[in-house]
Every structure is written in C-alpha cells, then in structure tokens.
Amino acid sequence: MAFEVRAATESERGDVATLIREMIPGVNADLRLEWLYEKNPAGRALTWIARENGELAGCTSYFPFRLYLDGDETLAALGGDGYVRPKFRRRGLGGLLHDAARNEMADHGIGCMYGAPGAMNLTPLKHGGSREVGHVARWARPLRGAAIGLGMAPFDRLVRGILRPRFVPHLEPMSRNDARVDEVWEQFSTTIRLGAVRDATFYTWRFLEAPAHKEPSYVIVERGHAIGACSLEVMHGGDTMRIVDLMAVPGAWHRCLSAIVRHAAETDAKHVDIKLMALDGRQRHMWRAGFVERDSKPFLVVIPKTGDRRFLDPMRWFYCGADSDLDELE
C-alpha cells in the first residue's frame, strides 16, 4: 500500500501524542503538545502525519519561530518531532513527510525551516530538500582540576580557584516578561544578521513556561545594568553546566561568558559548554574566555523552491540552544 501523507487535523491530536510518547520515552506528551504545539507565541505548530492502510506510521512538525533577518522580522520554523515507527522504516517515509512539509511552506508564509537534527533525521531531511549550511559546534571550558585529570581534592580546589573568573558581572533570576530581556535583545539584535527573535515574550515561553523547568534563565547584570541574558541546564549527572542560550549587548559577550563560568564554578560541575555555529564561535574568539571547540554536527536549512537564499548563508546565522524543540537536553 502507498503511504498517505497529509496535514494532521485537530481530531488527530491523540495520534500525534502517541507518536511523541514513542519518540521521546518518558515525556509528558500532553504538556509538550500544550507548550510547544499550541502556546508558541509565533503560532501553532504545523504537523504532517502519515498512515498506511489507515495504520499510523509517522509524523513531522514545524514549530513557527520569528527570525530577525537583516533588520527585519520574518516567519520561519524549527523542524522537530520527526518520527517514523520502526515497522515502516527504510521505505522512504521520512523523505515523503519532509517533502509534504516543504511543499506547503509558502502557503503558511514560512521563509525557511532550520535546525541541527539528530542522525536519524539527517538523511530524510536532505532527501526532502534541506541543505547543509555549515556546522553547529560545541565549545567547552574546564572549571576544576577534575576536568583535566587532577581529581585529588587539593589539586582540584587549586585549579578551581585559578580558573574561576574574578570581578565579573553577576546573574539574577529572570522573571516572566522581564523588561530587561527586551533591553538586551534590542541591543543584541544590532550585532546579528540572522537569528531567532530573543525578546522577553520568547524567553518566557521558551524557558520559563517549558514543562520540565530544567533550564532556568537569568539576566546578567553589571553595575546595575543588564548586559546579557542566558538559560542554563545541569547535564551529565551534574558534571556539565550547559549554556543553553546566551545573548549579550555589544562588547559584552566575553564578560557574560565569564559571569556564567563563575556561576557554574560555584556548583559541582566540572565543565561548562555552549553550542554555536562553528563560524560564529570562531569569530567570537571563544578561546579568549577559555572555551575550546569540540564536536560538531551539520546545520540544515530548507527554503521554498523560490525562497530567499539569504537563509542559506552560513555567515549570517546566529544559532544557539533556544533554537531547539527540547525543553530539557539531558
């Protein structure tokens, strides 16, 4: 039988929830649907569903994101929740789902779909028209002796003291719709050419209202003024503090990194890391804050057949952890 691939209807919400539970074991699918699919301030999710002879086979979704492109706001989407049940794999269904989504992008006013997908979705996305536009790299910094093989208590404490930044800004918990985030975004947006709009509305939805509550957000303050905003998550059993997202006013990127490093050094974490576009991270001279480039994975973008090719320029992109459909990374 041929697969039937089409846009999901409201009556199929339960089927989408079933696929999400299979795809992300242990997730509260109803909360995920409410948060990510229905309450996204950029618009409701678009989902395509596949069946064979009436049997549920798979799905994929677009989550609308407001992007800032060369000074103007435009609508794009983050691709996510792409899943094919094991029984139906190796028959090209993933590609069919992504084809259907791409063919309807223009109808929904979506300029591009982007993301750094997992290995399982990489080939279907490319078959569905996605192009590899650079790489997303992980940048890591040690916090203590145990991170560099000096785990004995005296050496660990000594190295921790040496590596801990001094006289840096501090982190204050972010509140819902925090006006300071808008102030930071207004200035940060002048430093990027293409990236998700990171205003207070976005940060509130993406982090403060996320179901897992595993990614607390902070405003980075220096002498009473907000110079940055970030979200953090403790990972790998407490060994790593992930900078899930970060933005900073012009000239304050490294001071914000140092403030986060000092905050992380007060925990049991051995490392702090962040994911950025590889080219962007190098241009930001991450080494100046003690960060070293580690592993990376492809960054994919798909545009309508007659779409704006600026989305395919890797030099334009600012990409960080907020550009993810997961409300906890571990």
Average pLDDT over residues 45-55: 96
Of 85, 101, 129, the position where a domain reaches its end is 129
Average pLDDT over residues 247-269: 94
User: What is residue 161's predicted lDDT score, i.e. its pLDDT?
Assistant: 56
CATH code of the domain in which 290 resides:
3.40.630.30
> In terms of domains, do 39 and 76 share one?
yes
Single out the residue of 279, 284, 283 nearest to residue 255, CA to CA: 284
Which residues touch 221 (CB under 8 Å, ≥6 apart)?
169, 170, 171, 172, 227
pLDDT over 70, % of the chain: 91
Of the pLDDT bands very low, low, confident and very high (cuts 50, 70, 90), residue 329 is very low
291 falls within a domain: yes
The pTM is what? 0.88
Average pLDDT over residues 210-231: 95
Who wins on pLDDT, 326 or 280?
A: 280
Average pLDDT over residues 97-115: 92
Helix and strand numbers (H, E) in the chain are 9, 13
Q: Which amino acid is at 155?
A: F
> In terms of domains, do 97 and 159 share one?
no
User: What is residue 9's predicted lDDT score, i.e. its pLDDT?
Assistant: 94
> In terms of domains, do 142 and 118 share one?
no
> In terms of domains, do 52 and 176 share one?
no
46 falls within a domain: yes
- Domain residues for 91? 3-129
**Spatial separation of the C-alpha atoms in residues 120 and 79, rounded to whole Å:** 13
Who wins on pLDDT, 155 or 87?
A: 87
> In terms of domains, do 59 and 23 share one?
yes
Instruction: Tell me how far CA of residue 328 lies from CA of 89, 274, 303, in angstroms.
Output: 27, 14, 28
Average pLDDT over residues 227-239: 91
> In terms of domains, do 12 and 143 share one?
no
Average pLDDT over residues 286-294: 94
Of 100, 129, 158, the position where a domain reaches its end is 129
DSSP single-letter state for residue 224 = T
**Spatial separation of the C-alpha atoms in residues 1 and 207, rounded to whole Å:** 43
Tally the domains of the chain: 2
pLDDT digits (tens, 9 = 90+) for 59-82: 999 999 999 999 999 999 998 899
Ranking 96-100, 147-151, 201-205, 221-225 by mean pLDDT, the lowest is 147-151
**pLDDT higher than threshold 70 for residue 243:** yes
Phi, psi of 70 (to 5 degrees): 50, 45
**pLDDT higher than threshold 60 for residue 283:** yes
Average pLDDT over residues 283-295: 95
8 falls within a domain: yes
321 falls within a domain: no
**pLDDT higher than threshold 90 for residue 198:** yes
Of 129, 161, 192, the position where a domain reaches its end is 129
85 falls within a domain: yes
Which residues touch 66 (CB under 8 Å, ≥6 apart)?
42, 73, 74, 75, 76, 196, 197, 202
**pLDDT higher than threshold 50 for residue 159:** no
User: What is residue 152's predicted lDDT score, i.e. its pLDDT?
Assistant: 41
Contact (CB, 8 A) for 307 and 278: no
**pLDDT higher than threshold 70 for residue 196:** yes
> In terms of domains, do 176 and 73 share one?
no
328 falls within a domain: no
> In terms of domains, do 221 and 294 share one?
yes
Q: Which amino acid is at 246?
A: L
Contact (CB, 8 A) for 171 and 263: yes
**Spatial separation of the C-alpha atoms in residues 322 and 198, rounded to whole Å:** 9
Q: Which two tokens stand for residue 317?
A: 């992109």
**Spatial separation of the C-alpha atoms in residues 286 and 272, rounded to whole Å:** 13
User: What is residue 168's predicted lDDT score, i.e. its pLDDT?
Assistant: 74
User: What is residue 300's predicted lDDT score, i.e. its pLDDT?
Assistant: 94
Residue 238, burial from CB neighbour count under 10 angstroms (0-12, 13-18, 19+): exposed
320 falls within a domain: no
Q: Which amino acid is at 103?
A: N
> In terms of domains, do 275 and 236 share one?
yes
pLDDT averaged over every residue in the chain: 90
- CA dihedral (178, 115, 287, 163) in degrees, to 10, reads 60
> In terms of domains, do 88 and 145 share one?
no
> In terms of domains, do 40 and 153 share one?
no
**Spatial separation of the C-alpha atoms in residues 22 and 24, rounded to whole Å:** 6
pLDDT digits (tens, 9 = 90+) for 116-157: 887 777 887 787 788 999 999 999 999 865 555 545 455 455
Residue 42 CB neighbour total at 10 angstroms: 19
Q: Which two tokens stand for residue 81?
A: 């929740």
> In terms of domains, do 225 and 105 share one?
no
User: What is residue 4's predicted lDDT score, i.e. its pLDDT?
Assistant: 95
Of the pLDDT bands very low, low, confident and very high (cuts 50, 70, 90), residue 95 is confident
pLDDT digits (tens, 9 = 90+) for 301-313: 999 988 899 999 9
